[in-house]
């Protein structure tokens, strides 16, 4: 009955729900520490949650299908036209919309070999071929090699900065030069899911690519620094022409009213965002110092997570889970010796480091 390609389509495997882990261990949910999905350990934006609660009282109405109010707010925030924005059910949905709009069977999609798995899933879903370009030795994207991998069949190129799962970021100059060097038959998606964690003074401003009319879309999400992962809302900014194409392939009411209200308010929650950014930098330093003291190799990160080398990543993940600590193995990214850890609160980071001592002592 189904399309034959679905027989070989990989399925995204989310981690086990925290409630299930707690039940299996006979613990309360509050006793489980989840540092596996790069969520915000400081909770959701309080302004966002207040707005969501208010919006809930009007749930009999369909949402604003064009996200007019949110796009107006984003336009003011970015100094771009409201027509430069497309809002999605998580930035994941926008990655899928790119597939709908641009991919036919046989097309090629260029991405890094250690890149967010959804780029590959979406490519395969539309019958396109993921072309995975090896990362540099420092775990950053090899932008020169990615450029060289572009052929006449390439339709999409994905670059995340900071990149998940490696945490490496590119400078504004590198990203602008890369975007300008790509041929015009290619759409570049610059995934900035973690960009709010960059030092604001050093964060790339890519709006000039939009003004130049490049075939570029930049993605942002409310799932990370704004702490709204459970509400599923993200957005892209691009030329009006590109946004117009994505609007043709999206569902009429793809983003619910509660999430739209929360996102709008969260954009104004500047104190919360500043605090999360500050605490994340502090937590990252705590982990880096702790790992260096233990002689554990790690990749310097610009995001809210860190890759570290533990020997056997799957065993480490499994053992940590028995202790009520959920981390992310990255064997599927070709990194069997590593795990990815979300930066937690100071207490969560300390608990992880002490469990790491136990794991390493056992492994020796
Ligand atoms: N891009 C990257 C690089 C990510 O790591 C994630 C979340 N893990 C996403 C996009 C998707 O985020 P969301 O759908 O929650 O907006």
Q: Which one of 87, 116, 162, 219 would you pick to mutate in the ligand 1 pocket, going by the greatest count of ligand atoms within 8 A of its CB? A: 116
Q: What is the pLDDT of residue 364?
A: 74
Q: What is the pLDDT of residue 13?
A: 81
ipTM of the complex: 0.99
Span of 6-20, 59-73, 231-245, 339-353 with lowest mean pLDDT: 6-20
Residue 190 has pLDDT above 80, yes or no: yes
> Is residue 116 lining ligand 1, measured as CB closer than 6 Å?
yes
- Reduced to 3 states (helix: H, G, I; strand: E, B; else coil), residue 6 is helix
> Is residue 218 lining ligand 1, measured as CB closer than 6 Å?
no
Atom of ligand 1 nearest to the CA of 222: 16
pLDDT, average across residues 267-271: 97
Find out whether 160 and 197 touch, Cβ atoms under 8 Å.
no
Q: What is the pLDDT of residue 264?
A: 98
pLDDT, average across residues 6-27: 90
- Reduced to 3 states (helix: H, G, I; strand: E, B; else coil), residue 293 is helix
Q: How far is the CA of 189 from the centre of ligand 1 (A)?
A: 13
Instruction: Phi first, then psi: give them for residue 311, nearest 5 degrees.
Output: 105, -80
Q: By C-alpha distance, which of 333, 320, 350 is closest to 34?
A: 320
Q: What is the pLDDT of residue 316?
A: 97
Residue 163 has pLDDT above 80, yes or no: yes
Asked if omega into 298 is within 30° of 0 (cis), the reply is no
Q: What is the pLDDT of residue 1?
A: 85
**Band of pLDDT at residue 202, cut at 50, 70 and 90:** confident
**Band of pLDDT at residue 15, cut at 50, 70 and 90:** confident
Q: Cβ of 251: how many Cβ atoms within 10 Å?
A: 11
What residue ranges define each of the domains in the chain, with the CATH number in brackets? 4-31+271-363 (3.90.1150.10), 46-267 (3.40.640.10)
> Is residue 89 lining ligand 1, measured as CB closer than 6 Å?
no
**Average pLDDT of the chain?**
96
Q: Which one of 91, 167, 218, 330 would you pick to mutate in the ligand 1 pocket, going by the greatest count of ligand atoms within 8 A of its CB? A: 91
Q: What is the pLDDT of residue 200?
A: 82
Residue 110 has pLDDT above 90, yes or no: yes
* pTM for this model (two decimals): 0.97
Find out whether 139 and 13 touch, Cβ atoms under 8 Å.
no
Residue 249 has pLDDT above 90, yes or no: yes
**Band of pLDDT at residue 272, cut at 50, 70 and 90:** very high
> CA–CA separation, 353 vs 317, rounded Å?
14
Residue 201 has pLDDT above 90, yes or no: no
Residue 152 has pLDDT above 90, yes or no: yes
Find out whether 135 and 141 touch, Cβ atoms under 8 Å.
yes
Atom of ligand 1 nearest to the CA of 116: 3
Give percent helix, percent strand, percent coil of the chain, each to the nearest 5. Answer: 45, 15, 40
Find out whether 130 and 119 touch, Cβ atoms under 8 Å.
yes
**Band of pLDDT at residue 203, cut at 50, 70 and 90:** confident
Q: What is the pLDDT of residue 291?
A: 98
Residue 12 has pLDDT above 90, yes or no: no
């Amino acid at each position: 009955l189904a399309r034959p390609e679905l027989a070989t389509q990989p399925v995204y495997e989310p981690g086990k729900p925290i409630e299930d882990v707690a039940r299996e261990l006979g613990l309360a949910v509050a006793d489980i520490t989840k540092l596996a999905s790069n969520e915000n350990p400081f909770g959701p934006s309080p302004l966002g949650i207040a707005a969501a609660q208010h919006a809930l009282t009007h749930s009999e109405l369909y949402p604003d299908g064009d996200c007019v109010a949110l796009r107006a707010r984003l336009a003011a925030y970015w100094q771009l036209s409201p027509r430069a924005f497309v809002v999605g059910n998580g930035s994941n949905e926008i990655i899928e919309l790119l597939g709908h709009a641009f991919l036919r069977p046989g097309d090629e999609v260029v991405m890094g070999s250690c890149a967010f798995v959804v780029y590959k899933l979406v490519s395969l879903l539309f019958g396109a071929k993921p072309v995975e370009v090896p990362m540099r030795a420092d775990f950053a994207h090899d932008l020169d090699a990615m450029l060289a991998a572009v052929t006449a069949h390439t339709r999409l190129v994905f670059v995340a900065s900071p990149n998940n799962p490696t945490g490496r970021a590119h400078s504004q100059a590198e990203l602008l030069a890369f975007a300008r060097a790509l041929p015009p038959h290619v759409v570049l998606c610059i995934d900035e899911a973690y960009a709010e964690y960059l030092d604001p003074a050093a964060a790339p401003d890519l709006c000039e690519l939009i003004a130049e009319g490049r075939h570029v879309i930049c993605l942002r999400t409310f799932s990370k620094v704004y702490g709204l992962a459970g509400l599923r809302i993200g957005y892209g900014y691009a030329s009006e022409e590109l946004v117009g194409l994505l609007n043709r392939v999206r569902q009429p009411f793809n983003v619910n009213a509660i999430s739209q209200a929360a996102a709008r308010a969260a954009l104004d929650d500047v104190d919360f965002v500043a605090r999360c950014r500050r605490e994340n930098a502090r937590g990252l330093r705590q982990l880096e110092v702790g790992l260096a003291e233990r002689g554990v190799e790690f990749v310097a990160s610009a995001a809210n997570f860190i890759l570290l080398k533990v020997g056997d990543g799957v065993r480490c993940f499994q053992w940590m889970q028995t202790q009520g600590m959920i981390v992310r193995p990255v064997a599927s990214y070709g990194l069997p010796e590593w795990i990815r850890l979300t930066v937690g609160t100071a207490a969560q980071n300390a608990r992880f480091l002490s469990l790491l001592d136990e794991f390493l002592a056992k492994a020796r």
